[in-house]
Amino acid sequence: MTPEPFFLRPGEPRDLVGLTRLVAAVAGGLTTLPPEEGFLEGRLQISHASFRSKVRAPGGEQYFFVLEDARTGEIAGTSAVMSRVGGFDPFYSYAVRRERVSHPPLGIEKEISVLHLHTNHKGPSEICSLFLRPDLRASGLGRLLSLGRFLFVAEFRARFDERVIAEMRGYLDEEDRSPFWEAVGRVFFERDFHAADFLSGLGEKDFIRDLMPRHPIYVDLLPPAVRAVIGRVHRDTEPALRLLRAEGFADTGEVDIFDAGPLVSVARDDIRTVRERRRAPLRAVHPRPPAEAAVCMVANTSLAGFRAAMAPLRENADGTPDLDAATAGRLRVQPGDVVQWVRPRVRSER
């Protein structure tokens, strides 16, 4: 049982070159992580300050994490938590509502789906920017990227809202086009999907305010192929959605305004990792993984020095854990330091 050589940590300004190289490989890009060096540099600086700020309540801080290969120092993945969405840059979504229409004299009564534009200026916390290098996606490291940040949330709950959301990437066809965008968004924005998504990721959202339709959109007026993708995720996002559902996230009835990907949500304290995590002083560090150890997601309890990894951990009869020396070194902990851990529930990301 050998510890994985990867660990999760806060992103730093020194990661700019590696991060730029990594996100340039994302097909179609990530809305919250566009491949623009100036933006990425600013994102790393904001995150660096957020991890070092004194916070009494969530105020829009951005906590950006990177997955580092301890053997090479290379960045293999990213994930993030926004302490609160909205604020000066409103958070837009479509609420999908079922509305009843009827005309008794003709015996007509039916329900139709309607998209209502929802603008949130003081929203919940949001998890975002999840990306793992393609060659590692069968390794199980996606769990560490996605769920490791929940150990950070559990340790520093006051920094986050009582509700957490995730905006899942929507369906794109084989030609990398969004059917929903082609039928709805392009009519108003006159740009292709990726251009509009890129602008939104940069924080340039005035065009959304000025150009979005101000009236509800009747879903039944859209082509069947478009209706079919509302609330459907991108094929590469399906494993991430399964992980979040196992953590307690559920559909909110809202979708993204660009690609109609679903929004999922859960109460912060109901997240499985937050609810089931254990926390105790480290009892001992062994040269090799201790006997009777089980692979867990393990993290220290530092703020700016947060570290998390998948590693063998033995829980002793008194509730204290033992770790191997390699893992303790990556987490920067020694006997007596408080660590936190949880056993993953999902065994496969496929």
Q: Each residue of 180-216: pLDDT tens digit? A: 999 998 888 877 777 777 667 656 667 777 888 888 9
CB atoms within 10 A of CB 234: 18
Q: What is the mean predicted confidence (pLDDT) over 51-70? A: 95
Residue type (1 letter), 179: P
Mean pLDDT of the chain: 90
Q: Each residue of 222-238: pLDDT tens digit? A: 999 999 999 999 998 99
Q: What is the mean predicted confidence (pLDDT) over 78-104? A: 90
Whether pLDDT at 91 is above 70 = yes
Q: Each residue of 173-182: pLDDT tens digit? A: 998 899 999 9
48 among known catalytic residues: no
Of 48, 118, 234, 286, the active-site residue reads 234
Asked whether 270 and 157 are in contact (CB, 8 A), the reply is no
Cα 39 to Cα 300: distance, rounded to the nearest angstrom: 30
Asked whether 63 and 168 are in contact (CB, 8 A), the reply is no
Check residue 349 and give its pLDDT. 40
Cα 86 to Cα 62: distance, rounded to the nearest angstrom: 13
Cα 331 to Cα 298: distance, rounded to the nearest angstrom: 8
Whether pLDDT at 112 is above 50 = yes
3-state secondary structure (DSSP) of residue 6: strand
157 pLDDT tier (thresholds 50, 70, 90): very high
Instruction: Return the biggest CA–CA distance within the chain.
Output: 82
Check residue 350 and give its pLDDT. 35
Q: What is the mean predicted confidence (pLDDT) over 64-75? A: 96
Whether pLDDT at 64 is above 90 = yes
Place of tokens 């065009």: 207
CB atoms within 10 A of CB 81: 25
Whether pLDDT at 26 is above 60 = yes
Check residue 210 and give its pLDDT. 83
Place of tokens 């509800």: 216
Residue type (1 letter), 64: F
Identify which of 113, 149, 151 has the alpha carbon closest to the alpha carbon of residue 130: 149
Q: Each residue of 319-338: pLDDT tens digit? A: 999 999 999 999 999 999 99
Q: Each residue of 240-282: pLDDT tens digit? A: 999 999 999 999 999 999 899 999 999 999 999 999 999 999 9
Alpha helices in 165-318 (DSSP H): 179-180, 186-189, 193-201, 206-211, 224-227, 238-246, 272-276
- Tell me which of 278 and 103 has the higher pLDDT: 278
